[in-house]
Amino acid sequence: MWDFMITGSNGLLGGFLIPHLRERGYRVLATGRGPCRLPAGWFDDRVVYHSLDITDGKAVWDFVGRYRPVRIIHAAAITQADDCERDPIGCWSVNVTATRFLLHAASAAGAAFTYVSTDFVFDGESGPYLESDLPGPVNFYGSSKLAAERAVAASGLAWSIVRTVLVYGRSDHQARSNIMTWVRDNLAAGRKIRVVDDQVRTPTWAGDLARGTLLVAESNAGGIWHISGADALTPYEMAVRTARFLGMDDSLMTRVTADSFTQPARRPLRTGFIIDKARRDLGYQPVSFEEGLWLTLGDRSSGGQ
Ligand SMILES: NC(=O)c1ccc[n+]([C@@H]2O[C@H](COP(=O)([O-])OP(=O)(O)OC[C@H]3O[C@@H](n4cnc5c(N)ncnc54)[C@H](OP(=O)(O)O)[C@@H]3O)[C@@H](O)[C@H]2O)c1
């Protein structure tokens, strides 16, 4: 019997979720597009990896039907908002159509379903947001994630949706940067950076997101859950704190407004989450941004996975 099937295992969240599930003794089907990029030491007969392109409906149907996982945590997505704006068809195929393939297969197998979603379902006019607030995406990525949320909620399955915000964490197995590494690398190279100071987010340590997602799944708590950090910060404030943490000179940083950048996808201005429901009902307790800095950029012996 397989307790969990995970999509997007090679991604940032997957790199925290797979070892967390493993530590807790679960039998896990980790899946990802293409070959496994996670450390080989994480896998044995209880935690296995399979390549699975979720846009291949037949492959999804066959896989879920064959292994019949008790719960699917669906984390795979095209996650870069600008990529979604440039390639809306590709974005829709992964973020919406493939989610429908997974829901269809989960229905036949009787699997419970946890979908990982985003603060970008909101318009950013009145954050921080509660689970009950009305979505209104301002870009194609947000629209695709909201469409997938609606498919999940209409599926008739035992479903939950975990929304999160600006995820960061140390990820030795992938090249992906985050705001902390971006600041560190630019300041270390003596490069000037312009950082937005009129957007607000509640940045989330990937370890907290993994724990929070599992809390939702283990408690069979249905419905929507906001799982993020607790500190509401602008990217500029995050950058200043990062420079300070590293003892680096922040004079290379200039504070700018979001409208000084021309990016393909518009960003919601003020998001971030109110996480009282998860704290109260699940005992969810995220680290502070300073602790997150330490876990991400601090000494490797800190156990900051
Ligand atoms: N990161 C954030 O700041 C953030 C914020 C809010 C919400 N979220 C949500 O959280 C979830 C996890 O995000 P993340 O940060 O872990 O994202 P990520 O690092 O970009 O990982 C997403 C994974 O999805 C996989 N994927 C894409 N297309 C696929 C396909 N056709 N078949 C199978 N796998 C496919 C990618 O595989 P490849 O690596 O092979 O391309 C990638 O490993 C996503 O649903 C995202 O929308 C993330």
Average pLDDT, 10 consecutive residues per value, the chain (305 residues): 97 97 98 96 97 98 98 98 98 98 98 98 98 98 98 98 97 80 95 96 98 96 97 97 94 94 94 98 98 89 42
Distance, CA 77 to ligand 1 centroid (Å)? 4
Helix (H, G, I), strand (E, B) or coil at 3: coil
When divided into structural domains, the chain yields a total of 1
Distance, CA 252 to ligand 1 centroid (Å)? 31
Mutate to test the pocket of ligand 1, among 6, 7, 13 (most ligand atoms within 8 A of CB): 13
pLDDT, position 48: 98
pLDDT, position 172: 75
Residue 246 lies in a domain: no
Residue 263 lies in a domain: no
Instruction: Ligand 1, residue 178: give the atom nearest the CA.
Output: 3
Cβ contact 10:76 at 8 Å: no
Site residues for ligand 1, CB cut-off 6 Å: 7-8, 10-14, 32-34, 53-55, 75-79, 94, 116, 118, 145, 164-167, 176
pLDDT, position 304: 40
Distance, CA 225 to ligand 1 centroid (Å)? 19
Distance, CA 96 to ligand 1 centroid (Å)? 13
Residue 145 lies in a domain: yes
Residue 183 lies in a domain: no
CATH, residue 9: 3.40.50.720
pLDDT, position 301: 46
Question: Could you tell me whether strands 159-164 and 167-168 are parallel, antiparallel, or unpaired per DSSP bridges?
Answer: unpaired
Residue 55 lies in a domain: yes
pLDDT, position 300: 57
Helix ranges (DSSP H) in 56-205: 57-67, 81-86, 88-92, 98-109, 140-153, 179-188
Residue 261 lies in a domain: no
Residue 43 lies in a domain: yes
Which domain does 213 fall in, by range? 4-169+201-229+268-287
Residue 60 lies in a domain: yes
Cβ contact 162:278 at 8 Å: no
Distance, CA 11 to ligand 1 centroid (Å)? 5
